[in-house]
A = this chain, B = another copy of it.
Amino acid sequence: MNETMKTILNHRSIRKFKDQPLAEQEIEQLVHAAQMASTSSYIQAYSIIGVENKQTKAELATLAGNQPYVEQNGHFFVFCADLYRHTVAAEMEDLEITPAIESTEKFMVAVIDASLAAQNAAVAAESLGLGICYIGGLRNEIEKVSELLQLPEYVIPLFGMAVGVPDAETDQKPRLPLENVYYKETYPNEKQKVQQGLENYNETISAYYHDRTDGKRSDRWTEQMSNMLKTPRRMHMKDFVQGKGFMKS
């Protein structure tokens, strides 16, 4: 197996880092890697904020729900969907682009662009021996995160990424069986098939938790997901996103 496949298949989220800041050159390598991801029609609809300031990191950690690794890491990135740059471009060209950038389509383009870039940075970081953890918790208090980073209209923080030298071993959680994620030709038209797959997966997951907790836990995946989803969270999102100018039509 080649080194890249090994890196990708060996991924695990790291939540404890050594107190060792990334070198400027490493940060640039990661951003460069991010930028080389595909981008929809060359639009490059994202920005990356790099946070080193200790106070800002501490505030972000609190806003993300007291996650210590948001504060303690080698570097903290915030990936943002960004169409603000394009409003400046349009002003330079004296053209009107508001209806386009306020569309749901272009919101999706920006979210996808930013995510592809982020995953390149993640793989690049891991190839350099660093660990990473995505921080969706920034969306808990997305308005405050946005203010803290001084994001203008048409820019929203999607997620953070803590990067650094790993200081703890982490397990790799088993993913859904391939046949329950990858479908040939069409989506399975029988709910029974999907359910059967989830029942099989539940057994795998229960055994996984059982093994690593000496029998104290045996969660099913369907149980974890349903318990998480029974309480809607971050219901401020639509207002926030639209307030920033996105997804109006």
Contacts and interface: CB of A to CB of B under 8 A. Distances in A.
Copies of chain A in the complex: 2
A125 B58 CA distance: 39
A18 interface: no
Contacts of A126: 4
Contact of A116 (B36, B119, B221): B119
A226 interface: yes
Nearest to A97: B229
Given A5-B127, A41-B228, A92-B198, 14 more contacts: A4-B127, A38-B122, A42-B221, A44-B175, A46-B181, A47-B181, A49-B187, A85-B194, A89-B198, A92-B199, A92-B222, A101-B229, A108-B111, A112-B136
Interface of A: 2-5, 7-9, 11, 13, 27-29, 31-38, 40-44, 46-53, 56, 84-86, 88-93, 95-97, 99-101, 103-106, 108-109, 111-112, 115-116, 118-120, 122-124, 126-128, 132-134, 136, 139, 148-152, 155, 158-159, 172-173, 175-176, 178, 180-187, 189, 191, 194-195, 198-199, 220-235, 237-238, 241, 247, 249
A111 to B, nearest CB: 5
A238 B230 CA distance: 25
A233 B123 contact: no
A177 to B, nearest CB: 10
A183 B155 CA distance: 13
Contacts of A134: 38, 40, 116
A60 to B, nearest CB: 11
Contacts of A241: 104
A123 B88 contact: no
Contacts of A29: 5
B229 A86 contact: yes
10 contacts: A2-B128, A5-B127, A48-B183, A85-B180, A88-B194, A93-B226, A99-B232, A100-B232, A104-B238, A150-B189
A185 B51 contact: yes
B187 A150 contact: yes
